[in-house]
């Protein structure tokens, strides 16, 4: 145990995901030795993350404005929606450069063991989006890109059941090649890109 | 490597650890509940891959670690998750099976063979999809509570032991109660509902199938109320179980 502010900092850092007690100590002492300007920038970034970030009112992605950059981009295909669990998955799919449509971020996967059911995710908002035209165009295809693990697959099953009765809507799932058990964020661009171009109708 | 040990188990729970590792909670045949670290499982290239997902029935080799044991090898015995995730109702019922098993085994390393066999049987039935998932879950819960020593009384009066059948059910009293013992505010389920509870507890599936389906919803309600009454904290998954079996699914 260290005294006062140093221990407080170690305790706070230790609460972060993936930071064990040893890493927390290492980060704390790194910060203690850092230039005041570096600390200032970090302080700034931390402050702004709560004040300056909002969630896009269309897709639910993290955004700097009410509507995110992707949803504002008129060159993107409004008839295609790629459904993902988390904002970090939007980044993973964007990196492949295979997808020119828009996104819908659910905010997680259906996981009853953690108390997450359909009402805890942005599923109702997805149904509303499908029901409404954008620029006079209907949504034509929903690509389900939930994680290739148990919760992600169960979420895909639930969505398929909800969506299959929409007339004229095609529902697709990323092609296999993504092994079960992984997180989308860890898939390399090539595999994920191939999964996107080889998606299958479900 | 003399300390390596091996067992078969059901994956009850997985939690993220650091960048790409997971802590896996298993209900094993010989060692009861075991928590162990699986390294690198979240990378899509992991050799453990889908084997260490919830509902997986696996043959595992562990290396004892300082705080948590480490998974060194995994073979799949039954990939129950592969079929369960294809049907949302059965997936939610299977989640309630896992959470109940987790909560009924407070102590790690304490043998729980009967519960292990019960969980494996319930997951096998849910994955096969031949019976109403909600009934499989209720039968599992009745027998799991029986192993824990607090199954609801369904034949004799919970208070005085008077042989039944009785008409009233009272969760606080411990199940069915006779006309003399019956506290105010007891429920009066139908005779079919009470018969269904008896059949579920004893695994009399021919009786279950012959009873009117209308009794199922009430029986589920009584089972859930009794379970929650005995649990310190509410089960998260139980209210999220999709009870209405849909005609077409998957
Ligand atoms: Zn957006
Ligand atoms: Zn009595």
The interface pTM score, or ipTM, of the predicted complex is 0.89
- Confidence (pLDDT) at B46: 64
Residue B49 — very low, low, confident or very high, per pLDDT cuts 50/70/90? Answer: low
Q: What's the number of CA atoms in the CB half-sphere (13 Å) around residue B168?
A: 19
Do A154 and B55 lie within an 8 Å CB cutoff? Answer: no
Residue B221 Cα to ligand 2 middle (Å): 22
Can you give the CATH number for the domain in which B50 is found?
2.40.50.140
Q: Would you say residue B248 has pLDDT above 50? A: no
Residues B152, B198, single domain; the answer is: yes
Cβ proximity of B191 and B165 under 8 Å: yes
Q: Where in the sequence is the domain holding B20, given as residue range(s)? A: 1-128
Domain boundary residue among B128, B157, B181?
B128
What's the full length of chain B, in residues? 250
Considering chain A, tell me which residue range(s) the CATH 3.40.1360.10 domain(s) occupy: 67-201
Segments of chain A assigned to CATH 1.10.8.420 = 4-51
Asked whether the beta carbons of A177 and A114 are under 8 A apart, the reply is no
Strand partners, A54: A63
- Same structural domain, B119 and B156: no
As given in the structure block, the two tokens for residue B236 are 């998260």
pLDDT in tens, A132-182: 988 889 999 999 999 888 899 999 999 999 999 899 999 998 876 555 556
User: Are B113 and B203 found together in one domain?
Assistant: no
A177-192 core/surface letters (b: 16 or more CB in 10 A; e: else): ebbbbbbbbbbeeebb
Same domain (yes/no): B122, B178: no
Interface test with B, best of A21, A157, A189 (most B CBs within 10 A): A157
Q: Which region among A5-9, A178-182, A196-200 has the lowest average model confidence (pLDDT)?
A: A178-182
Q: Are residues B137 and B60 in the same domain?
A: no
pLDDT of A21: 78
pLDDT by residue (tens digit) across A40-99?
999 888 888 777 778 999 999 999 899 999 999 999 999 999 999 999 999 999 998 989
- The rounded distance, in Å, linking the Cα atoms of A123 and A162 is 9
Lowest mean pLDDT among A64-68, B38-42, B98-102: B38-42
Residue A196, pLDDT > 90, answer: no
Task: Indicate if the pLDDT at residue B44 is higher than 60.
Answer: no
Q: Which of B42, B85, B249 sits opposite A154 (nearest CB)?
A: B85
CATH (residue range A67-201): 3.40.1360.10
Q: Is residue B16 part of a domain?
A: yes
Domain assignment present for B194: yes
% of chain B beyond a pLDDT of 70: 93
**B214 in the same domain as B161:** yes
Check whether domain A4-51 has CATH 3.20.10.10, yes or no? no
Q: Do both B115 and B173 map to the same domain?
A: no
CB contact under 8 A, B52 and A114: no
B121 and B137 in one domain?
no
How would you write A48-85 as a 3-class SS string?
Answer: HHHHCCEECCCCCCEECCCCCHHHHCCCCCCCEEEEEC
pLDDT of residue A133: 85
Domain boundary among the residues B86, B110, B128 is at B128
- Which whole number is the average pLDDT over A4-13? 88
- Whole-angstrom distance, CA of residue A56 vs CA of residue A127: 16
Last residue within a domain, chosen from B93, B128, B163:
B128
User: Does B90 lie in the same domain as B142?
Assistant: no
Same domain, B110 and B140: no
A191 contacts B44? CB cut-off 8 A? yes
Query: ∠ CA(A11), CA(A15), CA(A16), 5° rounding?
Result: 125
Using CB atoms and an 8 Å cut-off, which of residues 29-88 of chain B contact chain A? 41-46, 48-55, 81-82, 84-88
- Pair (B118, B195) in one structural domain: no
Residues B164/B176, Cβ–Cβ less than 8 Å: yes
Name the region of A88 (left: φ>0; alpha: ψ -120 to 50; beta: rest).
alpha
A125: left (phi over 0), alpha (psi -120 to 50) or beta: alpha
**By three-state DSSP, how is residue A116 classified?**
strand
pLDDT beyond 50 at A30: yes
Domain count, chain B: 2
Give the number of the ligand closest to the Cα of residue B157. 2
List the shell of residues around ion ligand 1, using CB closer than 5 Å: A 56, 58-59, 61, 68, 71
User: A168 with A139: CB under 8 angstroms?
Assistant: no
Tokens 């996107």 sit at which residue? A196
Does B88 lie in the same domain as B160? no
Q: Read off the pLDDT band of B47 (50, 70, 90).
A: low
Q: Is residue B151 part of a domain?
A: yes
């Amino acid at each position: 145990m260290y005294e006062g502010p140093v221990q407080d900092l170690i305790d706070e850092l230790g609460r972060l995901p993936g930071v064990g007690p040893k890493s927390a100590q290492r980060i704390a002492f790194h910060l203690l030795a850092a230039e005041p300007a570096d600390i200032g920038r970090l302080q700034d970034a931390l402050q702004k993350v709560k004040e300056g970030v909002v969630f896009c009112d269309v897709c639910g992605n993290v955004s700097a404005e009410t509507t995110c950059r992707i949803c504002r981009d008129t060159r993107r295909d409004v008839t295609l929606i790629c459904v993902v669990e988390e904002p970090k998955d939007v980044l993973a799919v964007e990196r492949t450069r295979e997808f020119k449509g828009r996104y819908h971020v659910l905010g997680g996967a259906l996981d009853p063991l953690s108390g997450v059911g359909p009402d805890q995710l942005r599923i109702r908002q997805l149904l509303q989006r499908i029901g409404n035209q954008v620029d006079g165009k209907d949504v034509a295809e929903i690509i389900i890109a939930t994680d290739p693990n148990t919760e992600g697959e169960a979420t895909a099953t639930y969505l398929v059941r909800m969506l299959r009765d929409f007339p004229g809507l095609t529902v697709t799932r990323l092609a296999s090649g993504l092994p079960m058990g992984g997180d989308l964020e860890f898939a390399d661009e090539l595999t994920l890109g191939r999964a996107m171009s080889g998606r299958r109708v479900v | 490597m003399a300390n390596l040990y091996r067992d078969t188990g059901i994956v009850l729970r997985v939690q993220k650890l650091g960048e790409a590792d997971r802590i896996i909670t298993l209900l094993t045949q010989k060692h009861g509940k075991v928590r162990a670290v699986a390294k690198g499982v979240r990378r899509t290239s992991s050799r453990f891959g889908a084997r260490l997902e919830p509902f997986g029935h696996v043959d595992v080799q562990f290396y004892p670690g300082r705080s948590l044991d480490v998974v060194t090898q995994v073979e799949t015995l039954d990939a129950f998750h592969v079929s369960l995730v294809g049907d949302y109702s059965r997936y939610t019922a299977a989640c309630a099976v896992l959470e109940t098993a987790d909560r009924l085994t407070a102590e790690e390393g304490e043998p729980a063979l009967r519960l292990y066999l019960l969980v494996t049987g319930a997951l096998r039935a849910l994955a096969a999809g031949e019976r109403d998932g909600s009934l499989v879950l209720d039968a599992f819960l009745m027998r799991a509570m029986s192993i824990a020593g607090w199954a609801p009384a369904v034949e004799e009066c919970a208070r005085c032991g008077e042989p039944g059948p009785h008409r009233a059910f009272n969760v606080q009293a411990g199940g069915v109660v006779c006309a003399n013992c019956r506290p105010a505010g007891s429920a009066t389920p139908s005779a079919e509902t009470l018969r269904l509870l008896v059949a579920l507890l004893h695994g009399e599936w021919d009786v279950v199938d012959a009873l009117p389906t209308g009794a199922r919803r009430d029986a589920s309600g009584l089972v859930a109320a009794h379970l929650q009454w005995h649990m310190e904290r509410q089960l998260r998954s139980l209210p999220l179980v999709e009870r209405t079996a849909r005609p077409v699914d998957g």
